[in-house]
């Protein structure tokens, strides 16, 4: 039987997948069980309510939420769960993701969202941060994460060409 997911990766639209798949790639590399869902704060509010309120009881430990434009998904998810929520601002066409970033980062005190960078880098780092959170109570994962970081360091060239 497959391991139960520990990280829930939600996104506002299938159009966000091109960005959010980078979070998935990192979690897969690190052997962290995850699930993915399309959950829109605006188009499927009941789905968001059901997902966020049920996440902890289903055994999820961290949520990663990516959205673009009027990106209310991470904040609304955070309002309905005590789990840590990491927000990824997806790069929007109209405003290059500045709208997404500001929508996600400017949460009122009391409902935190850990906001990452716009786009691919943010999705990668959300995956790494979710793994780091889980690694605080999972020593084998901590070792895998350290090895991932060491391999990244080793891969950096000394010279530009
Ligand atoms: C947001 O609107 C989604 O997160 C997506 O980034 C953006 C555009 O969605 P689509 O119109 O491509 O479905 O809710």
Across 24-41, average pLDDT: 98
For the annotated binding site for substrate, the residues are 13, 16, 43
Local structure of 52: helix, strand or coil:
helix
| Residue 2 covered by a domain | no
pLDDT at 1 over 70: no
Asked, for residue 150, whether it belongs to a domain, the answer is yes
- Residue holding tokens 């690190």? 30
Q: What percent of the chain lies above the pLDDT cut of 70?
A: 99
The residue-averaged pLDDT of 120-127 equals 98
Give the span between the Cα atoms of 72 and 49, in whole angstroms: 13
Domain assignment of residue 54, yes or no: yes
Q: How many domains does the structure of the chain reveal? A: 1
**Percent of the chain residues topping a pLDDT of 90:** 98
In a domain, 161, yes or no: no
Give residue 81 CA to ligand 1 midpoint distance, Å: 23
Binding residues: 13, 16, 43
Angle at 65 between CA 22 and CA 19, to 5 degrees: 30
The CB of 87 under 6 Å from ligand 1? The reply is no
CATH of the domain at 42: 3.40.50.1970
Kindly report the pTM of this predicted structure. 0.97
Residue 96 has pLDDT above 60, yes or no: yes
CA of 70 to the centre of ligand 1 (A): 9
Give yes or no for residue 16 CB within 6 A of ligand 1. Answer: yes
- pLDDT beyond 90 at 69: yes
Residue 114's pLDDT is 98
Q: Which domain holds residue 31?
A: 7-154
Asked if residue 2 has pLDDT above 80, the reply is no
């Amino acid at each position: 039987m497959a391991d139960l997911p520990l990280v829930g990766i939600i996104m506002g639209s299938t159009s966000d997948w091109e960005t959010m798949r980078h979070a998935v790639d990192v979690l897969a590399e690190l052997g962290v069980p995850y699930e993915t869902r399309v959950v829109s704060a605006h188009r499927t509010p009941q789905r968001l309510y059901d997902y966020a309120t049920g996440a902890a009881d289903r055994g999820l430990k961290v949520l990663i939420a990516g959205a673009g434009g009027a990106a209310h998904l991470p904040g609304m998810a955070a309002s309905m769960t005590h789990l840590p929520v990491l927000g990824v601002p997806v790069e929007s066409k109209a405003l290059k993701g500045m709208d997404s970033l500001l929508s996600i980062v400017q949460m009122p005190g009391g409902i935190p969202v850990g906001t990452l960078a716009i786009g691919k880098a943010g999705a990668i780092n959300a995956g790494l941060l979710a793994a780091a959170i889980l690694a605080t109570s999972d020593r084998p994962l901590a070792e895998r994460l350290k090895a991932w970081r060491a391999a990244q360091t080793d891969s950096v060239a000394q010279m530009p060409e």
